[in-house]
């Protein structure tokens, strides 16, 4: 089946007074209809900038190259008007902190209704009715009353539900969720993730879920992309990545993370050292200063992303074990 979103060789660079920051390099991803891909990696790995680039929302000091096609529409380098037509209608994004994305002085009904009036030509009364339906869909309690409230009158979980309602307003083909639950407490996190999983299932929407947490992707993603130092280092089906990670970084990441899908698991092991500074990436494999398996070659030669049998790994010495060992 053809991809709904096709990203090829995406690169994002930032010009700064201290030089160029290569934040994202050679990033490629095909998202199939109805599929959810999880993007994981430590802070600074390039997760958010990859998708802000796709949305046309990079900072002013960024330059971008490569291609990102939503169906037939090329998104990169397209003019603002063409992007606005796609954003909020076919492609929507929700962020970690709903307070910074919601407009403080606009009532919930107007925030949800805005794109319906703009993109779908609904009247104000029709937009209000649709906003009410959407609030119910995202399981906001007391939805009728919430319509006329302002963001500061809502709890964090409620605000995130409103953000999801805004994102769903025009029935997007692709929803990009960037750490949508990080700012919320654990119970609300689980509820929001369950809601996203349900929406994906029922509406056949494709989804990109950016998160620090491999445990979070376990329950909802079909595939996982692992990023390190601005590059994809491993990519594959969720069960392959979780049960048999081939990249030493993925393995370390798994060992360091609490898993919401498991109880009584082994003690967590922090990954030694710090994530790399993209301004000064180590030569060779960027993970080599922290890698238990590093050899001389790793410090000199950057491993290419090798694709085989539906998965990809960028390592000179990938770990190959039977998934059921």
Ligand X SMILES: Nc1ncnc2c1ncn2[C@@H]1O[C@H](COP(=O)(O)OP(=O)(O)OP(=O)(O)O)[C@@H](O)[C@H]1O
Options 128, 130, 288, 311; binder of ligand SF4; rule CB under 6 A:
288
User: How many Cβ atoms sit within 10 Å of the Cβ of residue 67?
Assistant: 14
How does strand 19-31 pair with strand 206-211? unpaired
Kindly state the smallest distance separating residue 107's Cβ from Mg ion, in Å. Answer: 29
Q: Give the footprint of ligand SF4 on residues 210-249 (CB under 6 A).
A: 247-249
Q: How many CB atoms lie within 10 A of CB 220?
A: 20
In angstroms, rounded to a whole number, what is the distance separating the alpha carbons of residues 233 and 230?
Answer: 9
> Measured from the CB atom, is 21 or 162 closer to ligand X?
21
Contacts 24+ apart (CB under 8 A), 112-115: 112/162, 112/165, 112/166, 112/169, 113/169, 115/88, 115/89, 115/166, 115/169, 115/170
Interior/surface letters 270-283, b for 16+ CB within 10 angstroms, e for the rest: ebeeebbebeebbe
Closest of 250, 239, 262 to residue 324, by C-alpha = 239
Element of type H or E holding 248: helix 248-256
Residue choice 110, 285, 311, 312 for contact with ligand SF4 (CB under 6 A): 285
Selected binder of ligand SF4 within 303, 306, 307, 322 (CB under 6 A): 303
Choose among ligand SF4, ligand X, Mg ion, none what residue 317 binds, the Cβ cut-off being 5 to 8 Å by kind.
ligand SF4
**In whole angstroms, what is the distance from residue 3 CA to residue 257 CA?**
31
| CA–CA separation, 47 and 228 (whole Å) | 9
Please, which of residues 246-275 interact with ligand SF4 by CB under 6 A?
Answer: 247-249
250 binds Mg ion, rule: CB under 5 A: no
Q: Does 25 bind Mg ion (CB under 5 A)?
A: no
Indicate the residue among 170 and 214 with the shorter CB distance to ligand X: 214
Select 93 or 164, whichever has its Cβ closest to Mg ion.
93
Cα–Cα distance, 94 to 153 (Å, whole number): 20
- Least distance from C-beta 29 to ligand X, angstroms? 14
b/e per residue 3-36 (b: at least 16 CB within 10 A): bbbbbeebbbbbeeeeeebbbbbebbbebeeebb
Stretch that binds Mg ion, among 45-53, 110-118, 136-144, 309-317 (CB under 5 A): 45-53
Residue range at the interface with ligand X (CB under 6 A); choices 46-54, 235-243, 283-291, 314-322 = 46-54
Closest approach, Cβ 178 to Mg ion, in A, equals 6
Query: How large is the C-alpha radius of gyration of the chain?
Result: 20
Which residue among 4, 5, 25, 47 contacts ligand X (CB under 6 A)?
A: 47
Q: Determine, following the binding rule CB under 6 A, whether residue 211 of this chain makes contact with ligand X.
A: no
Residue range at the interface with ligand X (CB under 6 A); choices 37-45, 83-91, 128-136, 308-316? 37-45
Question: Which of Mg ion, ligand X, ligand SF4, none does residue 16 bind to, with CB < 5 to 8 Å depending on kind?
Answer: ligand X
Pairing of strands 174-178, 91-94: parallel
Chain positions contacting ligand X, by CB under 6 A: 14, 16, 21, 23, 41, 43-49, 59, 61, 212, 278
> Residues interacting with ligand SF4, by CB under 6 A?
247-249, 285, 287-288, 291, 293-294, 298, 303, 315-317
């Amino acid at each position: 089946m053809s991809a709904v979103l096709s990203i090829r060789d995406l690169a994002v660079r930032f010009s700064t007074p201290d030089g160029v920051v290569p934040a994202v390099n050679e990033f490629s991803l095909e998202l199939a209809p109805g599929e959810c891909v999880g993007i994981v990696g430590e802070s600074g790995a390039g997760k958010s900038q990859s998708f802000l680039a796709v949305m046309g929302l990079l900072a002013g000091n960024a330059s971008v190259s490569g291609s990102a096609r939503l169906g037939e529409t090329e998104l990169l380098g397209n003019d603002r008007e063409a992007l606005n037509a796609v954003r909020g209608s076919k492609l929507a994004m929700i962020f970690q902190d709903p307070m910074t994305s919601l407009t403080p002085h606009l009532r919930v009904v107007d925030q949800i209704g805005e794109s319906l009036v703009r993109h779908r030509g609904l009247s104000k009364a029709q937009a209000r009715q649709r906003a009410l339906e959407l609030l119910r869909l995202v399981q906001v309690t007391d939805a009728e009353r919430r319509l006329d409230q302002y963001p500061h009158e809502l709890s964090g979980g409620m605000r995130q539900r409103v953000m999801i309602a805004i994102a769903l307003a025009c029935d997007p083909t692709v929803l990009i969720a960037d750490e949508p639950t990080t700012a919320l407490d654990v119970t609300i996190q689980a509820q929001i993730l369950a809601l996203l999983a349900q929406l994906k299932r029922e509406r056949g929407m494709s989804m990109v879920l950016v998160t620090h947490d491999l445990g979070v992707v376990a329950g909802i993603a079909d595939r996982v992309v692992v990023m390190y130092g601005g590059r994809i280092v491993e990519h594959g089906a969720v069960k392959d990545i979780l049960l048999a990670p081939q990249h030493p970084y993925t393995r370390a990441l798994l060992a360091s993370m609490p898993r919401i899908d498991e109880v009584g698991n082994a003690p967590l092991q922090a990954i030694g050292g710090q994530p790399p500074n993209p301004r000064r990436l180590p030569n060779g494999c960027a993970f080599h200063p922290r890698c238990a398996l590093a050899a001389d070659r790793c410090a000199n030669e950057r491993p290419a992303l090798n694709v085989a049998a539906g998965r990809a790994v960028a390592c000179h010495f990938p770990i190959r074990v039977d998934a059921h060992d």
